[in-house]
Homo-oligomer: A and B are copies of this chain.
Amino acid sequence: MHTLPALLDKINAYAAANPFPPAPRELYDPCDYILTLGGKRLRPALVLMAYELFQDNVDQALPAAWAVELFHNFTLMHDDIMDAAPLRRGKPTVHTKWSATAGILSGDAMLIHAYRHLARFDDSVIVADLLDTFNRVAIEVCEGQQYDLNFETRHDVTLPEYIRMIELKTAVLLGGALEMGAMCARAHENQSAHLYEFGRLAGIAFQIQDDLLDTYGDPAKFGKQVGGDILQNKKTFLVLKTLEVASGADRHELEYWMKTGPDLPVKISAVRDIFNRNGIPDLVTAEKRRYQAEAFGHFDAVEVPETRKVPLRGMMEELLVREY
């Protein structure tokens, strides 16, 4: 078993030992670029930690782990084009630094290279299982992105629809990463199923927390501009919960602000006041904790000694501890 930093070292060593082909550079420079923008390598770490619940030779799971990281970066590259995002982690996005064409084609290449790494596992029965999970999750991520795009122009999005969207767009990949790690370790099917549910439910909790932090986070720790979602009129969990529980007057005031432009800093405190007087922070925190508790119930059901669970439990708890 390894600590998180030791696993991250392994992931980065695998990536360095298995670079993209040397040419054409116009295709692979954007891939190298996005991979060095300082992502936390959370998803490949999940693959390896799930593997280490069951087996010791974690290097076996490195190709699957890297496949998941490449897939994630493929989605970032294409999503940035669709969202017309100028910056990612404070650096120019690929389509800004190069072109939309570069972002499309390099993203495609990165997705296919993800499949190449996946195919490297030395047992074809496991490769077929990994492929099934990877495909299922990858399609769901695309479907989630489509729902997210649809929501931008819809005015009747419900809270269950929103939860389903964040589940597809981000949570299933965390579940899939854990499931694939368990598969590489040849864990029993019901063990990998519990791990999938652990990741999926923790992922939903994490996204709810993300919505909370965007409005209520400590600016010094949050890294992004606090209140950004409010300025952009994003239909977050907080907004949808307010529309569900608030009085007519508060709903109308919220709807009024959500029709104003993004250059109105006063909007942040006004909308935050609406949230506050409707008890939204506590309601949303309770929802997050409900998903979190259900997630850890599945983790508890994984039948390995508790000592084996320490690194994965620690990382997931740390991810979910950042309350406002």
Given A82-B105, A104-B82, A112-B139, CB of A119 within 8 Å of CB of B132: yes
Taking the closest CB of chain B, its distance from the CB of A3, in whole angstroms, is 33
Listed stretches A32-40, A146-154, A204-212; interface member: A146-154
A116 partner residues in chain B, CB cutoff 8 A: 135, 139
Q: Which of B81, B109, B124 contacts A142 (CB 8 A)?
A: B109
Report Cα–Cα, A147/B107, bound state, in Å. 16
Q: Is A322 close to B, CB under 8 A?
A: no
Contact check, B124 vs A138: say whether CB atoms are below 8 A apart: no
Taking the closest CB of chain B, its distance from the CB of A63, in whole angstroms, is 13
Give the dominant DSSP class at A's interface. Answer: helix
Contact check, A26 vs B131: say whether CB atoms are below 8 A apart: no
Q: Is A111 close to B, CB under 8 A?
A: yes
Q: Is A143 close to B, CB under 8 A?
A: yes
Report Cα–Cα, A128/B27, bound state, in Å. 26
Contact check, B100 vs A78: say whether CB atoms are below 8 A apart: no
Contact check, A105 vs B24: say whether CB atoms are below 8 A apart: no
Q: Which of B108, B112, B128 contacts A128 (CB 8 A)?
A: B128
Contact check, A124 vs B135: say whether CB atoms are below 8 A apart: no
Report Cα–Cα, A81/B78, bound state, in Å. 13
Report Cα–Cα, A27/B142, bound state, in Å. 8
Contact check, A26 vs B138: say whether CB atoms are below 8 A apart: no
Taking the closest CB of chain B, its distance from the CB of A170, in whole angstroms, is 16
Taking the closest CB of chain B, its distance from the CB of A23, in whole angstroms, is 8
Among A21, A78, A119, A132: residue with most chain B CB under 10 A: A119
| Besides A104-B104, A105-B145, A112-B135, 4 new A-B residue pairs in contact (Cβ under 8 A), listed by A number | A26-B146, A78-B105, A105-B142, A111-B112
A/B interface sample: 17 pairs, CB < 8 A: A23-B143, A27-B142, A27-B146, A78-B104, A78-B108, A81-B104, A82-B101, A100-B100, A105-B149, A108-B108, A111-B111, A111-B112, A113-B139, A115-B135, A115-B138, A116-B135, A119-B128
